Amino acid sequence: MKKFFALLLALVMSLSLVACGGGDTANEDTSTDDTATEENGGDTATASDVEIAVVLKTLASEYWGYVKAGCDAAAADLGVTVNVVGPGAESEIEQQVSMIEQQIGAGCDAIIVAPNDAGAASGALASAIGSIPVLSVDTNVGIEGQTSFVGTSNVDAAKEGGLWAAEQAGEGANAVIIYGQEGDNTSNMRREGYQAACDEAGVTVLDALSGQNTTDGATKTMEDLLNAYPDQIDIVLCHNDDTAIGAMNACKSAGVDDMIIVGFDGNASAVDLILAGEMVKATVAQQPYEMGYQAVEAALKAIKGETVEEVINAPVTVVTAENGQEYLDSLAAMQG
């Protein structure tokens, strides 16, 4: 955990800032430290005057819980108020747009968004550009005038996972890709990375279908793929860990027990399966906790008028049976 440091404000705010929270309280969390103050030229300002909104894709998943934990930790360390909200599912695009609009309308000092749909999020954020810092986390909104993007190159990360699977399966293997929601930018980039890995390693991609970002959706998709390509599939490259679990469930139901399934996100549930010797053999682990922390940190710098990099890269690792326990230990430490 990063050390707590005192918040230094360059200017004393002339107006009292109102809370950055929407009318929709579902899936919402607020982290704040009201006691931190710092003198600036003889004046004082409470750190909790700074209020940052974070609108994630959802709070109903393990992965986004880690992002939220990082945001909460930054709020405590930096002494600022951070309101974290998210819709009930990643498919709830309109609900996320409404949350973005609510947070901006309530008067936050900066907003951080992980868009479910980049185009829809851009439209909702347009009014904030030039007025407050606007940042993306995990998935890039890509709106003109955006302050910063904090996240991972999904293309490069997926390619790492694909190359690992290709090495395990050997030359001449066949793969299928189960990507995420149709039109989702993150899904497109991960699919691109998997395809690039297969092309480079000489692996044939038999098909690529959407699993709708869910375990049940991926189960149905994998059933269709097994029926279309019986006894031909060696590798399943998945959009996320929920998708990987769905693919595994379909394989088990079909009596298949020798598949190499690769997930994405590094969720503890997937790593547990890897360590147990299940067909989920690897997961491409981002650093969601660190991304959440860095996004809040960058937003605060922007509020203070400091220079913020346009892209802040977060590293990835391919978690396998060899490093899985070490990775789980690190996740436990992040959660305190």
pLDDT band at 20 (very low <50, low <70, confident <90, very high): very low
Rounded CA separation 301/52 (Å) = 12
> Which two structure tokens, joined as six digits, stand for 245?
């679990």
Read out DSSP for 180-247?
-STT-HHHHHHHHHHHHHHHHHT-EEEEEEE-TTSHHHHHHHHHHHHHHSTTT--EEEESSHHHHHHH
Superfamily per CATH, domain 154-285: Response regulator (3.40.50.2300)
Consecutive H or E run containing 193: helix 185-201
Identify whether the C-beta of residue 217 lies closer than 8 Å to the C-beta of residue 211: yes
Identify whether the C-beta of residue 15 lies closer than 8 Å to the C-beta of residue 45: no
Tens digit of pLDDT for each residue in 108-154? 999 999 999 999 999 999 999 999 999 999 999 999 999 999 998 89
Give pTM, 2 decimals.
Answer: 0.67
Other Cβ atoms within 10 Å of 11 Cβ, number: 11
Fold of 28-151+289-305: Rossmann fold (3.40.50)
Rounded CA separation 165/197 (Å) = 9
Residue 29 pLDDT: 52
Residue 199 pLDDT: 97
Q: Kindly state the DSSP code that residue 278 receives in the 8-state scheme.
A: -
SS3 content of the chain, % helix, strand, coil (to 5): 40, 20, 40
Identify whether the C-beta of residue 55 lies closer than 8 Å to the C-beta of residue 114: yes
CB-count exposure of residue 17 (10 Å: 0-12, 13-18, 19+):
middle
Domain ranges within the chain, ordered by starting residue: 28-151+289-305, 154-285
Give the orientation angle of helix 62-78 with respect to helix 324-334, to 10 degrees. 50
Other Cβ atoms within 10 Å of 253 Cβ, number: 12
What would you measure as the largest C-alpha separation in the chain, in angstroms?
A: 75
> Cα angle vertex 184, ends 181, 185, to 5°?
145
Identify whether the C-beta of residue 202 lies closer than 8 Å to the C-beta of residue 255: no
pLDDT band at 314 (very low <50, low <70, confident <90, very high): confident
Locus of tokens 């793929």: 225
Q: What is the dihedral of CA 41, 45, 47, 51, to 10 degrees?
A: -120
Residue 200 pLDDT: 97
Locus of tokens 């860990």: 241
φ and ψ of 84, to 5 deg: -105, 120
Tens digit of pLDDT for each residue in 163-187? 999 999 998 999 999 999 888 888 9
Domains 28-151+289-305 and 154-285 share a fold: yes
315 or 114: which leads in pLDDT: 114
Give the orientation angle of helix 241-253 with respect to helix 268-275, to 10 degrees. 40
Rounded CA separation 216/260 (Å) = 19
CA 334 vs CA 42, 68, 240, 287: distances in Å: 37, 11, 21, 10
